[in-house]
């Protein structure tokens, strides 16, 4: 696949820079020579299939759909019918090319349009596309230019329809899309959990005017009201009052002003508060009320501030009146008045709080600026899709240019997305505009459709992550440091995983550069991709590794460990069977925990493993903390085991090798013996040394071949392997494979086991399930151990029973502990 190699990727040339300068002069703005590396903008244009453009007053947002070809690690079982020979690995690993779908969104200043169109024209090779969907006020103005340059027919779409479509799409596909803004807080952005049902909601779009739209479902929305007092009023009146031309500069003025010299406050009229009505003295009674009578001059700053308050309050008040009339509590704000401006986010938030007495929170969106273009793009995609065509997964749908993006789940690619720009009011507005010159959002189409785990007690309040690093500065400091420290090792391992590819070292360096840059960005802007969490740091690393074609740096290590562990499987089972029932239950749990010590993802462990390859299973057991553990519900679990068996256990597995083979398999084998069906959920694609679904398929076959209990369970479908839909070392129970959810429901799953630090501590530690659950992990990070009040290799063994659920576990056939 040399066609896609980075070397042939078009670069922004000096010719293009010259063109930029030409555009520059004509648009009387600052120097805008493009210095961004070509790798980072208009990526994958070669295979771009469908375009949409949203041209606003100052920014253009371009969208296209493209395919990305990248390496994936595949495992294939050797034929083991013949007696296996010493030293032969149980499966082979191969690198294959895979094509996946990606949505690209790019935002740039209107001044660049012509340059960008030329660039696209030059590099658009394989497209069959004839039409570009367009929306936004400027679409009309640039219609001829687009048609001339791209030879695509411009097809205008209704602005509001696009906006709503885009809004639905981001709310559904991007966790932490919405946030509330809290000025002066440690983290100004409080990201919201996406409610499983995004409808109904109110969208207040504050452009030059205000539109208030009630959205009830995917296709049903209504403009319920609006107001002519909007961003245009602030800008127009502000320019008249202060002789300041730019919107940004007006906001800047406002943030420095004092409105009390211009506005008539309640205390100016009453001398204090208006107690009987509960109106405080500082409340504005009449905006600009002092400017009619006072003879003195007012400063630009003060007038701008007063104007900002006046308009924000007015919009907030109307929003509340409409929210109340339609009985809605989810109110999102968008439009250029809001977009990335902390000043307006703050005043709108304040106003909503005031008028609803805190009952409604003003919500903002991370990708608000992209809604129009996303919507226009989706509109085009829908029109291309014959409604009756069944949607098959994989290559069929990909090679077919028609597809409906709403049929899939999409995920924000952290490697290719710029994230939320810093919006610090101290930043010079010029600088801010510039740094946002080429803002990008990339979304990967996920193989599987993702849904909630049906066993979440309250999906709307479920938060996967245990610690929000954007709010916990100390924890943030530590983890950012930790990931930066670990970077050398990751690079080394990545290179080592591809010994046959000489350019791997170069790619690994690029990865290092990119991930380090991301870490630096996150240090400055922890809110860039929603709440910063250990999970997001891990996922960002995976995205960056994939970006540079290191799909599975641990493949060889996992292979070797799986090999070694398999050899001990039968011996381990035999020694367990020699124990009494009660001893065995404890040994199974200890085995599971000891297995979990083997985790290359944790620095403390990888140090030990690298220096002492003999570090074995038995040693791991000795490392474990003695009971009572840091969190110890073992006695309750043992009591429970004396009762009837569970109907079905869903087990989220963790690492390859000893963990899965000597820890998990004996444990689930016991459950199977008790008459409990078992569903093993593993990652769909690689992350660290976590066992993937395809690896687990092979391992299960091999174990079944030597163990009758597993064999019959597989045969009788009492042991099922499912994909989690995830490719993270952590676990988001609100984004799981739809098929998994189906299996869980069908089998009346009544026990969920979550194993490992990533899945049971970094995430889900506080997750409330509607059935019994076990959360097990060994803490392999001294900082975290310290935080939780334990020490290195402390054990967390959490057994939880939902309060209302105790009786239903008695429903099943009583079993006898053997």
Q: Is 253 in the site for another protein (CB under 8 A)?
A: no
Candidates 55, 174, 198, 237; binder of another protein (CB under 8 A) is 237
**C-beta closer to another protein: residue 274 or 783:** 274
Candidates 114, 188, 263, 465; binder of another protein (CB under 8 A) is 263
Place of tokens 């208030």: 212
Q: Is 209 in the site for another protein (CB under 8 A)?
A: yes
**In Å, how far are 326, 678, 703 from 674, measured between CA atoms?**
54, 11, 19
Q: Identify which range of 6-14, 234-242, 518-526, 541-549 contacts another protein by CB under 8 A.
A: 234-242
**C-beta closer to another protein: residue 265 or 620:** 265
Q: Is 160 in the site for another protein (CB under 8 A)?
A: yes
> What is the three-state SS of 97-165?
EEEEEEEEEEEEEHHHHHHHHHHHHHHCCCCCCCEEEEECCCCCCCHHHHHHHHCCEEEECCHHHHHHH
* Burial category of 669 from C-beta neighbours within 10 Å (exposed 0-12, middle 13-18, buried 19 and up): buried
**C-beta closer to another protein: residue 20 or 241:** 241
Report the phi/psi class of residue 184: left, alpha or beta, with left for phi > 0 and alpha for psi in -120 to 50: left
Q: Is 144 in the site for another protein (CB under 8 A)?
A: no
Place of tokens 């995004």: 198
Q: Is 632 in a helix, a strand, or coil?
A: strand
CA-atom Rg of the chain in angstroms: 29
Candidates 183, 223, 513, 517; binder of another protein (CB under 8 A) is 223
* Residues 303-322: x where in contact with another protein by CB under 8 A, - otherwise, as a string: x------x--xx--xx--xx
Q: Is 235 in the site for another protein (CB under 8 A)?
A: yes
Structure-token pair, residue 110: 């209107």
The secondary structure of the chain in percent helix, strand, coil, rounded to multiples of 5, reads 45, 20, 35
Q: Is 240 in the site for another protein (CB under 8 A)?
A: yes
Q: Identify which range of 232-240, 474-482, 511-519, 648-656 contacts another protein by CB under 8 A.
A: 232-240
**C-beta closer to another protein: residue 210 or 538:** 210
Candidates 30, 36, 125, 325; binder of another protein (CB under 8 A) is 325
Q: Is 208 in the site for another protein (CB under 8 A)?
A: yes
d(CA 281, CA 287): 14
Q: Is 366 in the site for another protein (CB under 8 A)?
A: no
Q: Is 344 in the site for another protein (CB under 8 A)?
A: no
Please work out the total of residues on this chain that contact another protein, with binding judged by CB under 8 A. 58
**C-beta closer to another protein: residue 258 or 396:** 258
Candidates 81, 85, 228, 524; binder of another protein (CB under 8 A) is 228
Q: Is 229 in the site for another protein (CB under 8 A)?
A: yes
**C-beta closer to another protein: residue 288 or 364:** 288
Q: Is 287 in the site for another protein (CB under 8 A)?
A: yes
d(CA 331, CA 161): 17
The answer to whether 257 touches 251, Cβ cutoff 8 Å, is no
Q: Which residues contact 394 (CB under 8 A, 6 or more apart)?
A: 447
Q: Identify which range of 76-84, 278-286, 366-374, 651-659 contacts another protein by CB under 8 A.
A: 278-286
Q: Is 290 in the site for another protein (CB under 8 A)?
A: yes
Candidates 2, 81, 293, 611; binder of another protein (CB under 8 A) is 293
Q: Is 284 in the site for another protein (CB under 8 A)?
A: yes
d(CA 226, CA 705): 69
Q: How far is the CB of 345 from another protein (least distance, A)?
A: 20
Q: Identify which range of 125-133, 207-215, 593-601, 730-738 contacts another protein by CB under 8 A.
A: 207-215
Q: Is 199 in the site for another protein (CB under 8 A)?
A: no
d(CA 447, CA 34): 35
Place of tokens 């009339």: 325
Candidates 332, 355, 598, 634; binder of another protein (CB under 8 A) is 355
Candidates 236, 394, 643, 817; binder of another protein (CB under 8 A) is 236
How many angstroms separate the first and last alpha carbons of the chain? Answer: 58
d(CA 804, CA 770): 8
Closest CA to 339 of 222, 444, 429: 429
**C-beta closer to another protein: residue 93 or 160:** 160
**Alpha helix ranges (H) inside 686-777:** 693-706, 708-715, 738-746, 757
Q: Is 801 in the site for another protein (CB under 8 A)?
A: no
Closest CA to 406 of 377, 370, 373: 377
Q: Identify which range of 113-121, 229-237, 549-557, 674-682 contacts another protein by CB under 8 A.
A: 229-237
The answer to whether 53 touches 111, Cβ cutoff 8 Å, is no
Candidates 59, 68, 113, 241; binder of another protein (CB under 8 A) is 241
Q: Which run of H or of E encompasses 773?
A: strand 772-778
Contact residues: another protein, CB under 8 A: 137, 158, 160-161, 207-209, 211, 223, 225, 227-233, 235-237, 239-241, 245, 262-264, 266, 268-272, 274, 276-277, 284-293, 298, 303, 310, 313-314, 317-318, 321-322, 324-325, 355
């Amino acid at each position: 696949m040399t066609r896609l190699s980075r070397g042939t990727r078009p670069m922004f040339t000096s010719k293009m820079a010259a063109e930029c300068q030409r555009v520059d002069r004509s648009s009387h703005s600052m120097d805008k020579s493009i210095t961004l590396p070509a790798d980072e903008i208009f990526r994958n244009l070669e295979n771009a299939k469908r375009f949409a453009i949203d041209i606003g007053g100052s920014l253009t947002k371009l969208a296209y759909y493209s395919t990305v070809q990248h390496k994936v690690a595949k495992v294939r079982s050797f034929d083991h019918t013949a007696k296996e020979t010493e030293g032969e690995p149980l499966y082979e690993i191969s690198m294959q090319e895979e094509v996946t779908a990606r949505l690209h969104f790019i935002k740039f200043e209107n001044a660049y349009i012509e340059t960008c169109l030329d660039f696209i024209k030059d590099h658009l090779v394989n497209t069959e596309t004839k039409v570009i969907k367009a929306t936004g006020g400027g679409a009309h103005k640039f219609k001829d230019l687009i048609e001339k340059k791209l030879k695509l027919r411009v097809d205008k779409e209704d602005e509001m329809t696009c906006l709503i479509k885009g809004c639905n799409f981001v709310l559904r596909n991007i966790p932490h899309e919405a946030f509330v803004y809290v000025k002066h807080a440690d983290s100004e952005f409080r990201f919201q959990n996406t409610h499983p049902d995004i409808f109904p909601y109110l969208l207040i779009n504050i452009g030059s005017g205000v539109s208030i739209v009630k959205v009830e479902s995917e296709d049903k929305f209504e403009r319920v009201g609006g107001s002519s007092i909007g961003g245009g009023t602030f800008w127009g009146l502000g320019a008249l009052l202060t002789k300041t031309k730019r919107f940004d500069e007006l906001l800047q003025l406002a943030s420095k002003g004092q409105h009390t010299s211009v506005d008539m406050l309640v205390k100016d009229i009453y001398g204090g508060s208006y107690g009987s009505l509960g109106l405080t003295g500082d409340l504005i009674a009449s905006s600009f009320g002092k400017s009619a009578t006072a003879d003195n001059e007012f400063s630009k700053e003060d007038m701008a501030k007063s104007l900002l308050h006046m308009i924000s309050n007015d919009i907030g008040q109307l929003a509340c009146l409409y929210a109340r009339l339609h009985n809605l509590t989810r109110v999102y704000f968008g439009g250029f008045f809001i977009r990335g401006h902390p000043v307006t986010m703050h005043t709108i938030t304040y106003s909503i709080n005031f008028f609803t007495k805190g009952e409604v929170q003003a919500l903002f969106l991370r990708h608000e600026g992209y809604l129009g273009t996303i919507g226009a793009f989706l509109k085009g995609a829908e029109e291309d899709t014959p409604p009756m065509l069944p949607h098959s997964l994989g290559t069929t749908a990909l090679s077919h240019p028609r597809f409906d993006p709403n049929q899939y789940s999409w995920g924000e690619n952290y490697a290719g997305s710029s994230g939320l720009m810093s919006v610090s009011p101290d930043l010079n507005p010029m600088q801010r505009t510039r740094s946002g010159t080429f803002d990008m959002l990339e979304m990967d189409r996920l193989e599987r459709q993702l849904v909630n785990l049906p066993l979440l007690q309250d999906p709307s309040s479920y938060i996967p992550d245990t610690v929000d690093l954007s709010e916990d500065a100390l924890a943030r400091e530590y983890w950012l440091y930790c990931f930066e420290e670990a970077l050398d090792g990751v690079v080394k391992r990545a290179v080592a995983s591809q010994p046959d590819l000489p350019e791997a070292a170069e790619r690994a360096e690029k990865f290092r550069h990119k991930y380090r840059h991301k870490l630096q960005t996150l240090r400055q802007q922890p809110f860039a991709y929603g709440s910063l969490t250990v999970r997001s740091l891990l996922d960002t690393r995976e995205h960056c590794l994939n970006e540079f074609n290191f799909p599975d740096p641990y493949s060889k290590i996992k292979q070797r460990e799986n090999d070694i562990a398999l050899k001990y499987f039968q011996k381990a089972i035999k020694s367990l069977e020699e124990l009494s029932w009660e001893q065995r239950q404890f040994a199974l749990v200890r085995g599971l925990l000891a297995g979990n010590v083997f985790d290359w993802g944790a620095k403390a462990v990888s140090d030990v493993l690298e220096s002492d390859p003999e570090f074995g299973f038995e040693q791991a057991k000795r490392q474990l903390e003695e009971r009572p553990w840091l969190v110890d519900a073992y006695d309750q679990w043992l009591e429970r085991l004396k009762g009837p068996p569970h109907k079905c256990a869903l087990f989220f597995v963790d690492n390859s090798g000893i963990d899965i083979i000597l820890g998990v398999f004996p444990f689930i084998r016991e459950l199977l013996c008790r008459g409990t069906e078992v569903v093993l959920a593993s990652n769909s694609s690689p992350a660290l040394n976590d066992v993937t679904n395809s690896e687990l398929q092979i391992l299960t076959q091999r174990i079944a071949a030597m163990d009758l209990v597993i064999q019959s369970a597989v045969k009788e479908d009492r042991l099922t392997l499912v994909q989690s839909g995830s490719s993270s070392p952590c676990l988001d129970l609100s984004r799981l494979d739809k098929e998994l959810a189906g299996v869980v429901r069908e089998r009346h799953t009544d026990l969920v086991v979550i194993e490992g630090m990533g899945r049971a501590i970094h995430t889900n530690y506080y997750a409330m399930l509607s059935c019994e659950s076990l959360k097990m992990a060994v803490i392999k990070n001294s900082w975290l151990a310290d935080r939780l009040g334990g020490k290195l290799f402390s054990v967390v063994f959490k057994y939880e029973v939902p309060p209302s659920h105790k009786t239903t576990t008695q429903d099943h056939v009583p079993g006898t502990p053997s």
